[in-house]
Structure 1
């Protein structure tokens, strides 16, 4: 009785090991879908797939928000594909802001490396605001799918790194969703209670039409 059971167990164990990959480096040449990128064949994986050097370079903050985000998500860092993690660098010049936005695909943990950053998020159920000015070494969490923001709270440049619970957390910035596309002005007015002049001004600034 014991030997047949042992034989069956060994077959199950060997088949499980044969079907499980240690990791799934993104194959950018293959189709991708809702589940993520296809896996590169293990024999074609190199160390360069598992290393990302872009976070050493400060982002360009010469823009309307005076800030820059340098992501190391699965579309740029193939090694994190399928692992449930990713990271990004945030550079904020004096007066810089990462506007209200959401990450529909993952939660975020932010650590301040330099300067001070006012950060907060708004709950979905009660619209409660959680707000804190973070100093060097402080860490704050932003739950998945909730509106949140970061603002440079000092007179010098600020630097932070954000880790995510997804290789592709996604991003939607409220200002750009409303004013950087062709959503008709009258609909923006109706759904935001702003007046038409304000909406048209913001569309002009952010590149929207209609």
Structure 2
């Protein structure tokens, strides 16, 4: 048991890095064409198997099983989503793609938290994840005809709160969420930068 616990702790940062890689693999599958899309699918399944193994290991070393599954239920959903790809209904396929992007984005943000300790660096990485994920969602919902347009609109909405100009309820909901995110994140960044520049020059020199 002690060896398993040590292994679980040692895997923390490597699994965080793989979480970010998986995010880009999932996002790449939605815009890539064969044969690249096929290779990305293979890589995605390999990473999926690695995540299953990690979850089983962490469940094995967890002392409180009820608490563990209460905190990690989302991972079960994340791992179950790929099996829904066998569905033939177009509406369900769109839902699966939507869920795949969201679950990989959640894992990507948690992975960033594992790897980064600085608030500014973490906010920057999470902002990139939000832009990429929201642009994929806009493309899946066919709000834009090209991924370049979707990425441009998502980036502006995330940084400035600028609306897409779409009429459907789902797009408007994403607009509101991105506007709220832009306010919260840039307020955090402004606070962190303000705290840094308000420090005495000697203190800044010691931290450098």
What TM-score, normalized to structure 1?
0.25
Bigger Rg over Cα: 1
What TM-score, normalized to structure 2?
0.25
